[in-house]
Structure 1
């Protein structure tokens, strides 16, 4: 997986775009991808966001929606084995 560009480069591209330079020209000047420059400038224009977003899959658990059910099972009978829990849930 590739890494995000540095914030100093992002600031330079956004400053060039704010001064009237097109996204394609800024991408060529600072040697970055055209799509990256277009995304950065669009995001700043639409939302004011200037920092890189977190890369990768969003954090979170698929079991979050079943949390109360699982805790109720554990509180009801704390010494269950995994197989007993699976059999009782069907």
Structure 2
């Protein structure tokens, strides 16, 4: 993703339009695209700010509200597989989640996956 325009340029474009010029004239004057000027003034009229919107995905996970349930399930059955945990979550909460997403979520909570010599794996909380 590219970087947004500077705060100074945004304020100058808004000031130019508020001085009586059109949005497209402001775009030509400052060497920016017409869509930037139009969208900037829409943002100013709607939100009363020239700050750019946050880029990227929203923070957090769909699983944040189900963290206590997932931790309880893993601590009750440490060798539960991610497909089994996904099926339990779908059954109890009606939330279909890919097993890889569950694994990453549990890793963020501090769980690690340990394999024993007999090939059976177990999730445990690691030292954080």
Q: TM class by shorter-chain length?
A: 0.7 to 0.9
User: Which structure is higher in strand share?
Assistant: 2
Q: 1:76 to 1:43 in 2, by over 3 A?
A: same
User: Structure 1 residues 87, 28: CA separation in 2 closer, same or farther (over 3 Å shift)?
Assistant: same
Matches of 1:50 and 1:71, distance apart in 2 = 42
Cα distance in structure 1, aligned partners of 2:84 and 2:61 = 23
Matched with 1:32 is 32
Structure 1 outlier segments of 4+, above 4 Å: none
CA RMSD of aligned residues (A): 2.1
Query: Residue 74 of structure 2 contacts residue 80 of structure 2 at CA under 8 Å; is this kept in 1?
Result: no
The CA distance in 2 between the partners of 1:87 and 1:42, in whole Å, is: 48
Q: CA deviation at 1:86?
A: 3.8
Q: Which digits, 9 at most, give the CA deviation of each residue in 1:30-77, with x for residues without a partner?
A: 011111100111111222122111112222213224223212214435
Alignment partner, residue 81 of structure 1 = 79
Correspondence 1:1-90 to 2 at 5 A: 1-77=1-77, 80-83=78-81, 86-87=83-84, 89=88
Compare the two structures and name the one with the higher helix fraction.
1
TM-score, normalisation: structure 1: 0.79
What are the ranges of 5 or more consecutive residues in structure 2 without an aligned counterpart? 92-128
Write the distance in 2 (CA, Å) between the matches of 1:74 and 1:46: 46
Number of equivalent positions: 87
